[in-house]
Amino acid sequence: MDAPLVNPPTATARDRLIDTAITLFNRHGFHATGVDRIVAVAKVAKKTLYAHFPSKEELILAALSRKRAAFADKFLPTVLATSDDPRERLLSLFELAKSWFSDPDFYGCLFINAAVEYSEASHPINACAREFKTLLRSFAREQAAAGGAADPDTLADQIALLFEGATTVAQVSARPDAATTAKGIAAQLIDQAFRR
């Protein structure tokens, strides 16, 4: 049984549905979470859900959009605020990831989980997950270029791969220290890439 979520008193029914859906999709998966469970936990009528989201897939896309916005508007600016040095910013990705991996509500990457459950490449949910994965790589490339990396594209690919790998290990093996291991490898790659 899912405990009711605590939403701000001013949260709209739409916001409650999205926030509830994110929590339940994280905990139980997309296919295993039905609309009946979502409306029960969000304390809204099913009619209200369908007034905002004509289908469950539309709700999933809204949930992924909310998570994407949080990554772009909160996580990446937090990384930028850690330092003016591009090298340190790249390394801070893994420090912040370690905090995320250590959270009791860490269930892995919602976008990876979405891509697994909606594996057909042409499916809009799979496409949404793929598009999200370009954000981290683009950020890493910007920092690599700003830091003077000889090959910013290769370093961005390496950083993104390390981040994704650490996320998967943290999820599957319950090892938040995967972020520390990945950070150590990233430091070596960054030093090599920034060497002139």
Q: Global pTM?
A: 0.89
Q: Over 80: is that where the pLDDT of 92 sits?
A: yes
Q: Please indicate whether residue 177 or residue 2 has the higher confidence score (pLDDT).
A: 177
pLDDT given at position 157: 98
User: At residue 173, does pLDDT exceed 70?
Assistant: yes
Which amino acid would we find at residue 129? A
Contact 79, 89 (CB under 8 A): yes
Mean pLDDT, rounded, for 92-96: 96
pLDDT class for 67, splitting at 50, 70, 90?
very high
Q: Report how far apart, in Å, the C-alpha atoms of 68 and of each of 81, 129, 176 are.
A: 19, 9, 22
Rounded Cα distance between 128 and 55, Å, is 16
Q: Which two tokens stand for residue 49?
A: 């859900």
Under DSSP, the state recorded for 148 is T
Question: What does the pLDDT read at residue 195?
Answer: 78
pLDDT value of position 61: 98
Q: Please give the mean pLDDT across all residues of the chain.
A: 93
pLDDT in tens, 129-152: 999 999 999 999 999 999 999 999
Instruction: Give the range among 11-15, 34-38, 66-70 with minimum mean pLDDT.
Output: 11-15
Distances (CA, A) of 154 to 77, 145, 158, 189: 23, 11, 6, 10
pLDDT at 3 over 80: no
